[in-house]
A and B are shown apart, each in its own frame.
Chain A
Amino acid sequence: MRHQGGHLQRLLRALRRQGGWLPAWMFAAGLLAVPALGLAAEGTTGGPVEYRDIPGIGSRNIVWVIAQLHLLLAGFVLGVPIFAWLCEIVGWKSGEKRYDKLAKEFTKLLTSSYATTALFGGILLFLLIGFYPKLMNYLTDIFFPSFIFYCILFLLETATLYLYWYGWDAMQDGGKKTFHIFLGFLLNLFAFFIMIVPNSWATFQASPVVIAEGTDIQRAWAATWNPTWWPVNIHRLIANVVLGGYICGAYAGIRYLAARNAEERDHYDWMGYVGNFIGVFGLLPLPFAGYWLMREIYQYNQQMGITLMGGFLSWLFILQAMLIGVLFLGSNYYFWLGITHRIPGSEGQYKKPIMTMLVILLLCLGVWMTPHSLVASLEEARKMGGTHHPLLGVFGVMSAKMTVANLMILVTFMSFIMYWRAGKQETATWAKVARSVMGAVLVLAGIAVIVLGVWGYFVPAIIRINYFSTSQVLIVLFVMLTITPLTALLLKSARTTTEMVWGRMPPRAGYALVLNAVMVILLMTLMGYARSSSRVHWHVYGVMRDSSQYAFSPALGYAAAFMALNTFLFCMLVAFIFWVATMGDKGKAAHGASKGELPHGVPAMAGGAPHHMDQRS
C-alpha cells in the first residue's frame, strides 16, 4: 500500500507540474471514486456482480440524468434534419432563398449536436455496463445482431451528414441540388433507423417477446418486433418533429428578443413563425399516436395500462394534461399575436373568434386536468359520497378527456387556418360555397365529437375505446384533410389585402416561443419517467426482476425535480451548441456590420421600436 501511495503522490506531483491544480484534483477525485464503486458492488453471494452503485448520489439518479439528456439530444438531432430537410424542399420548390438559408443554418448545428449526442450515448453505455452488468449481459445476449446493425447505421449516417453539410454550397444548382435533397432524404432515413433500433431495446424492456429457439438473428428479430415497438417509433418520430420545430422557435425567440437591428428582428420573427408552424404541424397528430401507444399497452398487458392510467401514475397524466394544455395555449397565443401584430388592421376583425377560441381552450383544459378521483379527507369523501365528486367526477373519465383533447386539436387547427387566411381576400367564384362547406364541416365535426363523447358514458368501455374514440380521431383527421387542401386552393387565387409585416411582434411572443419549447422538453422528460415506471419493479417486464435497492419508482414530486433539472441542463446544452455553431457568423457579422445598428446601450425591444418599421412602411 505504501508503495502504491508513493506512486500516486509522484503522479499527482507530476500532474501539478504539468497543468496546474485542476487536473490534479480531477485525477484525485477519480481515484477516490474507484473504491466507492468497488464498495458498492452488489451481487449474489459468491456470484457475479449484478449492480454497482455510487453511494450518496445513487447509480439510478446518474443514469436518469444522462439517459434523459441523451434521449433529448437524440430527439433534437433526429428532429432537426427533418426540419432542415422540409425547409430545404420548401426553399427549392418556392425559390425563396431564405428557406434554404434557414435549412443550412440548422444543419450547421447538427455537426456539434451530433457529437454531443454521441458523447452522452457513450457515457450512458459505460454507466449501464458498470451499474447494471447482469441486465446488460442479458440484453447483449438478445440484441447483439442489432448492435452491429446500429454501428453500421452510425457509419452511414455520419458519412451522409458530412456530405450533406459540407456539400451544401457546392450542390446548389440543377441536378446537384436534387442530389443534395436526396442526401437529405438519406440522412433522415438513416436517422429514422438509428431511432427505431434503440427503441426496440427500450420497448422490449416494457413488452418483451422472448423466444428460446432459433438463431441469434431470429431471437433478436422476435424481441425487436415487440407489441409497443411501432407505436413508440411513430410517437417518437412525430415528437422529434415537434421538438425540432419548437426548439427552432425558442432559438428564434431568444435571438428576436436580443435583436439589435431591423434586419435581425425580421429574420428571427420569421424564423419563430416557421418553428412554431412546424411544431404545431407535429403537435396536432401527436395525441393520436399517444392514444395508439396506450391502446397497445392495454392490449399487451392490462395491468401495465392500469398502472399507467389508473394506478400510481394516474396523477402523472393530470400533469401531462397541464403541460399539453399550456403548449396548446402557447401555440395558439403565438398565432393570435401573429394575426394582431403582423397583419395591420386585423386586431378588431379577429378579436371575437380569438376570445371564443381562448374560452373553449380553457374549458377543455379544465376538463382534461380534472382528476378521476379527488384528494379528499374522510369527511369530504363522505359528503361527496365517495372519492368522486358528483359533478367534477363526470369530467375525470377517459370519455371526457378524449373529447376535449380532440376539441383542442380542432381549435388549434382553426387558429392556424385563421392565421393562414388573415390579410387575404378570396377571389374565386366558388369561395362563398367553399367557406360554407368548411364552416359546416367544422361545426358538424365539433358536434359529432361531443355527441360521441357523451354517448361514451353509456356504452361498455370496449365499445368506447374501439369505436367511439377511434371515430373521434377519424373525424378530426377528416376535418384537417378536407379543410387544409380546400384553404390552399382558395388562397391560390386570393388577393393579398394586407401584407404581413415581420419584426413587429411584442417581446412576449419571444417568451411564448421559449415557453412552448420548455413545455415540450418537460413533456418528454415526464413521459420518460412514465415509460420507465410502468415497468414497476422489473428491468424486463415479467422476465428480469430489478433486485437492486432502486427497484421502486419515486413519487411525482421527487421525479419532477429531476425532470426540471434535466430540462434545464438540456436547455443549457442546446444554448451552448447554438452559441458554438454561430460563433463564426457573429465574427463575420462584426467585421461587416456598420449599417442598421442601433446606438449602444439602447436594446431594441422587439416590436416595441416601430420607428424604423414605420419609416419602411
Chain B
Amino acid sequence: MSEVVKLQLIGLTIVGMGIVILLFVRAQFARVMGFVAIVLGLFSLVALAVPQMASLPPAEEKFDIATVKTPTDMAAIGQKIFFSKGQCALCHSIGPSESARCPDLKGIGAKLSREFIFESLTQPQAYIYLDYRHEGPPKEYPARMPYINKNPIGLTKNEILSVIAFLQQMSGEPISVNPSELEVPGQAPKAPVKAEDVAPVAVAHAR
C-alpha cells in the first residue's frame, strides 16, 4: 500500500469519525471537535488528490574525468545538469513553450559562441540593455539570469562546460568543448575560459 493510499485511508477515517460524532454525540464541545475533524480530514483528502511532487535536493553529477572520453560524453552529463542541479529548465524551455518565462534555448548553441554562453552564465549582468524610458541617466535592468557559478546553484567550471556542450549538441552544432579542458580536482586549470579574455560577441547597449 503506497503512502498516499495510507494517508487517504486515515483522512477518510477521520472524516467518518467526525460524522459519527455529529450524528450520535450531544455534548457541544465534542460535536465541534467532530466538525473540525471533518474539515481537517477533507482538507487532507483534497491535498492528497493534487499531484504529489516532493522537492529532492539536486543529484550531484559525479565527474569521473577518466570516464569522460569524448565531447558527447560531456554533453550527456550537461543534459542531466540542465534538468537537475543547474535548474535551467525551471525558466528556459528547449522549443516553444507556454510556461517558459525566459528565452527558448532551442538552437542557442548555434546562435552564440561558447565564450558568450559561458559569460552569460557566469556574468549575467555583463551585457544587458539599458533602460532609457525615464528622465536622467539610463538605468541598468537587473539581470533576471542568476550567477550560475555561485550559490544557490553553484555549478563548477566542469559542469558549466558540460552544459555548453549539451546546448551545442542539441542545436546540431559540432561540440567545441573538449574533455581535455576539464579541470582535475586538486590540479591547476589547463586553459581557463575567462570571459574577460575574449572579445565581446555582442554589445547590447541600446543607445
Measuring CB to CB, which residues of chain A are less than 8 angstroms from any residue of chain B? 253-254, 257-258, 299, 301-303, 306-307, 310-313, 315, 318-319, 322-323, 372-373, 375, 386, 388, 393, 461, 510-511, 514-515, 518, 522, 533, 536-538, 541-543, 546, 551-561, 563-564, 567-568, 571, 575, 603
Other-chain residue from A311, A538, A543, A561 in contact with B7 (beta carbon distance below 8 A):
A561
Q: Is B29 an interface residue (CB 8 A)?
A: yes
Residues of B contacting A536 in the complex (Cβ-Cβ under 8 angstroms): 55, 57, 152
6 contacts between A and B (CB under 8 A): A375-B50, A375-B51, A538-B152, A541-B152, A542-B150, A552-B57
CA distance A299 to B146 in the complex (A): 12
- B35 CB–A CB distance under 8 Å: yes
From B43, B87, B144, B153, give the contact of A564 (CB < 8 A). B43
Closest 4 CB pairs of A and B: A560-B47, A537-B57, A542-B152, A542-B151
Residues of chain B within 8 A (CB-CB) of A561 are 7, 10-11, 44
Taking beta carbons and an 8 Å cutoff, which residues of B are in contact with A? 3-4, 7, 10-11, 14, 26, 28-29, 31-33, 35-37, 39-41, 43-44, 46-48, 50-58, 87, 90-91, 98-99, 101, 142, 144, 146, 150-154
Q: How far is the CB of A540 from chain B (nearest CB, A)?
A: 10
Structural contact, A301 and B146, CB atoms closer than 8 A: yes
- Give the chain A neighbours of B101 by CB distance below 8 A: 306, 310, 461
Residue numbers in A under 8 Å from B58 (CB-CB): 537
B47 near A319 (CB under 8 angstroms)?
yes
Inter-subunit contact B51/A552 (CB<8 Å): no
A250 to B54, CA, bound (A): 34
Cβ A551 vs Cβ B57 within 8 A: yes
Check A515–B4 contact: CB distance below 8 A: no
Chain B residues within an 8 Å CB radius of A551: 57
CB contacts (< 8 Å) of B36 on chain A: these are: 514, 518, 568, 571
Does the CB pair B47–A302 fall under 8 Å? no
Residue with the greatest number of chain A CB neighbours at <10 A, chosen from B47, B50, B58: B47
> Are A303 and B46 closer than 8 Å at their CB atoms?
no
In Å, the complex CA distance between A386 and B31 comes to: 47
State in angstroms the CA–CA spacing of A315 and B51 once bound together.
Answer: 8
Q: What is the number of contacts between chain A and chain B, taking CB atoms within 8 Å?
A: 136
Please determine whether A257 and B55 come into contact, CB atoms closer than 8 angstroms. Answer: no
Chain A residues, Cβ within 8 Å of B46:
319, 322, 560
**Contacts A303-B90, A322-B46, A557-B7 hold; do A515 and B39 have CB atoms under 8 A apart?**
yes
User: Quick one: closest B residue to A546, CB to CB?
Assistant: B57
The contact of B47 among A257, A533, A557, by CB within 8 Å, is A557
B62 to chain A, nearest CB (A): 16
Q: A303-B152, A568-B36 are in contact. Are A254 and B28 (CB under 8 A)?
A: yes
A307, B58: Cα distance in complex, Å: 14
> A564 contacts B41, CB within 8 Å?
yes
Are B54 and A552 in touch, CB under 8 angstroms?
Answer: yes
- CB pair B146 A557 closer than 8 Å: no
Q: Which residue of A lies closest to B54 (CB)?
A: A555
Q: Give the contacting residue for A603; candidates B28, B43, B153; CB below 8 A.
A: B28
- When the two chains form their complex, are residues B26 and A603 in contact, meaning their CB atoms are under 8 A apart? yes
B4, A552: Cβ atoms closer than 8 Å? no
Q: Report chain B residues within 8 Å CB of A541.
A: 152
Q: Do the beta carbons of A559 and B55 come within 8 Å of each other?
A: no
A601 to chain B, nearest CB (A): 10
Q: Complex formed: what's the CA distance from A559 to B91 in Å?
A: 26
Residues of A within 8 A of B41 (CB): 564
In the bound assembly, the distance between CA atoms of A337 and B10 in angstroms comes to 34
The distance from the CB of A21 to the nearest CB of chain B, in whole angstroms, is: 30
- Which chain B residues lie closer than 8 Å to A571 at the CB level? 33, 36
> Are the C-beta atoms of A560 and B44 separated by less than 8 Å?
yes
In the complex, are the beta carbons of B50 and A319 less than 8 A apart? Answer: yes
Q: How far is the CA of A564 from the CA of B152 in the complex (A)?
A: 32
Q: How far is the CB of A564 from chain B (nearest CB, A)?
A: 4
**Complex alpha-carbon distance, A312 and B52, angstroms:** 9
Establish whether residues B40 and A306, one from each chain, have CB atoms under 8 Å apart when the complex forms.
no
A564 near B151: Cβ-Cβ < 8 Å: no
B65 to chain A, nearest CB (A): 24
Decide: B39 and A315 in contact? CB cutoff 8 A: no
For the complex formed, measure the closest distance between the CB of B193 and the CB atoms of chain A, giving whole angstroms: 24
Judge whether A543 and B40 touch: CB under 8 Å. Answer: no
Instruction: Determine the distance from Cα of A390 to Cα of B54 in the docked complex, in whole angstroms.
Output: 28
Using known A-B contacts A306-B91, A310-B99, A514-B32, determine if residue A315 contacts B50 with beta carbons closer than 8 Å: yes
- Contact assessment for B53 and A555 in the assembled complex, using a CB-CB cutoff below 8 Å: yes
CB <8 Å contact, A555 and B52: yes
Contacting residues, chain B, for A560 (C-beta < 8 A): 43-44, 46-48
With both beta carbons as reference points, the residue of chain A lying nearest to B154 in the complex is identified as: A542
Question: Which residues in B have their C-beta under 8 angstroms from that of A522?
Answer: 40, 43
Hey, which chain B residues are within 8 Å of A518, CB to CB? 36, 39-40
Give every chain B residue within 8 A of A323 (Cβ-Cβ): 43
